[in-house]
Amino acid sequence: MTQSGRGFERNDQGSATFGGVELQRLLAKSRCSTPVYFYDLSGIESQVRSLSEAFGSASHLIAYAVKANSSASVIRTITEAGAGVDAVSGGELMLARHLGVPSRKIVLSGVAKRDDEIDLALAEDLLALQCESVGELSRVAERAKLQGTRARVSIRINPSVEIDSHSHIATGHDAAKFGTALRDLPVAFSLIAERSTHLSLVGMSTHVGSMLKKPNAYLDSARAVCVCARDALTQGHHLEYVDFGGGFGIDYGDGPAAPPAQFATQALALLNEEGLGNLKLVVEPGRSLVGAFGILVSKVIQEKSSGQRRWLMIDAGMNDLLRPALYQASHRIEDIDVPPGTTEYQVVGPVCESTDDFGPHSFSRIPSYVVLRDAGVYAFTMASEYNARPLPAEVFVKGGVIVHENPSPGVNAWVESRLRA
């Protein structure tokens, strides 16, 4: 059972359901073959709405981190519920604009924006370009001068806060490449003042990292943003917003996480305590809005035993879902038809790499199909075609009905693309 909405559940007979419908029925109706991602758009929508409600009448923007899941159906679902977008590349920005997301509901983040990406952001007149260093502020001023415009910028600070998460997804500590160091802020402020014809400081922002299960570290980094925002106001900059970033965690089977609404309520309270309640509060969630509402369905190819070892080989690999290989992340893997049992198998994919291994999972029999749970984010967006494996298919479900399908491009398209190289 997911915290709100539906996603993956089991019915009274023990078979898997998705978005309230038997998964086997959805599979039979779909024209996509495995490996295939399913997304529950209704679940995603209710998740966004419950986060929005937590802000009440306070001025706010939920800037959905598109890198988490960039399918049009998902972005539309989220933005039609009132959210905007946090983009980290020109491509993500273009996609959001194609989907009709208003410019002033988009921020462009990213640690090393290219000149063409800066130019695009300036032409689109976004809520802000979130700058991550003094050097970048100066480059943005130059580009704005060339375009004869004034850039709306925020300074993304590195709050110097450690979080309890995998080291690869912690971004707000001293050794991270992200953000402007606090000691560089005076120089950043004077640069903006000097180049005020081409730079206007409208926000202060941060993103401390991902998979935060409790709000503590989030609030610590938010407090650092507030201190910097007050400095900026004292120096006469006309700030419009503070952005505390994303990073709200989800339960991958290892224990519950505080719901996004709890982060929002506490962030708002902090903003008021800090005397900044007149500013807009921006948050940048990705994972928490979509993660639990996506699954990857895979067919079992065969089992293999050797001595005490038992492997279950499935047709999804690390190219389809990279998180276990990259972060030692664990996704629950279950038989579609029956609940987990007690016989442990090492579940592995077909890719010729030892890290193509989804870890040990327990079954009551050899399944025909398995579901890899909580695969809504950083899953399809991180997929590759390694080993000549075409990108996986995607199926979008709303109100228990398939509303859209994006089949895999297939192996012939892959061969053709390589023949052109």
Contact positions vs ligand LLP (CB under 6 A): 65, 68, 86, 109, 169, 207, 210, 245-248, 284-288, 323, 327, 378
- Closest contact distance (angstroms) between CB of 43 and ligand LLP is 16
Residue whose CB is less far from ligand LLP, 64 or 363 = 64
**Nearest CA among 224, 235, 141 for reference residue 189:** 235
Place of tokens 């300036």: 122
CB atoms within 10 A of CB 341: 13
Is 260 within 8 Å of 51 (Cβ atoms)? Answer: yes
- Closest contact distance (angstroms) between CB of 30 and ligand LLP is 25
Residue whose CB is less far from ligand LLP, 175 or 419 = 175
Residue whose CB is less far from ligand LLP, 16 or 375 = 375
- The tokens for 32 are 């996509």
What's at 322, amino acid-wise? L
Give the Cα separation of 243 and 55 in Å (integer): 14
399, exposed or middle or buried, with CB in 10 Å at 0-12, 13-18, 19+? exposed
Is 352 within 8 Å of 269 (Cβ atoms)? Answer: no
- Closest contact distance (angstroms) between CB of 32 and ligand LLP is 23
Which of 32, 131, 226, 352 is an active site residue?
352
Beta-bridge mates of residue 305: 310
Residue whose CB is less far from ligand LLP, 199 or 250 = 250
- Closest contact distance (angstroms) between CB of 250 and ligand LLP is 9
What's at 290, amino acid-wise? V
Is 41 within 8 Å of 400 (Cβ atoms)? Answer: no
- Closest contact distance (angstroms) between CB of 306 and ligand LLP is 32
What's at 403, amino acid-wise? V
Beta-bridge mates of residue 129: 108, 153
- Closest contact distance (angstroms) between CB of 187 and ligand LLP is 22
Active-site residue 352, yes or no? yes
Residue whose CB is less far from ligand LLP, 241 or 248 = 248
125-159 burial: b if 16+ Cβ within 10 Å, else e: ebbbbbbbbbebbbbbbebbeeeeebbbbbbbbbb
CB neighbours of 91 closer than 8 A, spacing ≥ 6? none
Residue whose CB is less far from ligand LLP, 245 or 259 = 245
- The tokens for 211 are 């998979």
Catalytic residue annotation: 352
